[in-house]
Chains A and B, each alone.
Chain A
Amino acid sequence: DAGVIQSPRHEVTEMGQEVTLRCKPISGHNSLFWYRQTMMRGLELLIYFNNNVPIDDSGMPEDRFSAKMPNASFSTLKIQPSEPRDSAVYFCASSSEISSSGANVLTFGAGSRLTVL
């Protein structure tokens, strides 16, 4: 298995531009998570999907952020318009059913490092 695949790995953009981050989860995993990581705030959950349905988006900073999961193998996180304070590493992670017992380990993608100038 290729693991969780994210693109782009690095993105540098100017304030006000639209940014789209992409994620392909591990096949068979039905939960998908978008995290943001910064030195100041650590790892923050933005949103998660279960069976392609958004379950909890309370971590999404504001209306400039949106996420979609049109099918089981693809998700996007969009920032429009972007601001310098959005600069961070954005991780996508997937796991099997989160509400069942057992470890249900999160497998993270390599991350997308976003810099907004």
Chain B
Amino acid sequence: GQNIDQPTEMTATEGAIVQINCTYQTSGFNGLFWYQQHAGEAPTFLSYNVLDGLEEKGRFSSFLSRSKGYSYLLLKELQMKDSASYLCAVRDSNYQLIWGAGTKLIIKP
């Protein structure tokens, strides 16, 4: 079957760095996405990785290792507004998105 695993909840301190991991087992691979979802709102796109390596976008970076079925989202200089759920999703060989359950990130002052 297809499976995406990510921690249920993480806590970090304002100004610090946090890494949210995602491991996947899917039928084929055509890219990995990270979405951010604030409570009561819709998911919004953060990053896309299709090749191995690190993609940096401001305070956020996303890493992919296809051979290990692994990705992480790195958030630097954490701000209170970064408190949200972070969803990992993999596009399989049929170009269907398989979603993880999301990681709820709590930022403390």
A and B assemble together: yes
Separation of A91 and B87 alpha carbons in the complex (Å): 15
B99 touches which of A42, A109, A111 (Cβ 8 Å) = A42
A105 touches which of B42, B48, B99, B100 (Cβ 8 Å) = B48
- The verdict on A110 contacting B42 (CB below 8 Å), with A43-B87, A105-B33 known, is yes
- Judging by beta carbons under 8 Å apart, are A42 and B45 in contact? no
Separation of A116 and B106 alpha carbons in the complex (Å): 30
Is the C-beta of B96 less than 8 angstroms from some C-beta in chain A?
yes
- Judging by beta carbons under 8 Å apart, are B45 and A106 in contact? yes
Is the C-beta of A34 less than 8 angstroms from some C-beta in chain B?
no
- The verdict on A91 contacting B42 (CB below 8 Å), with A98-B95, A105-B48, A106-B97 known, is yes
- Judging by beta carbons under 8 Å apart, are B31 and A109 in contact? no
Within 8 A of B (CB), among A32-48: 42-43, 45
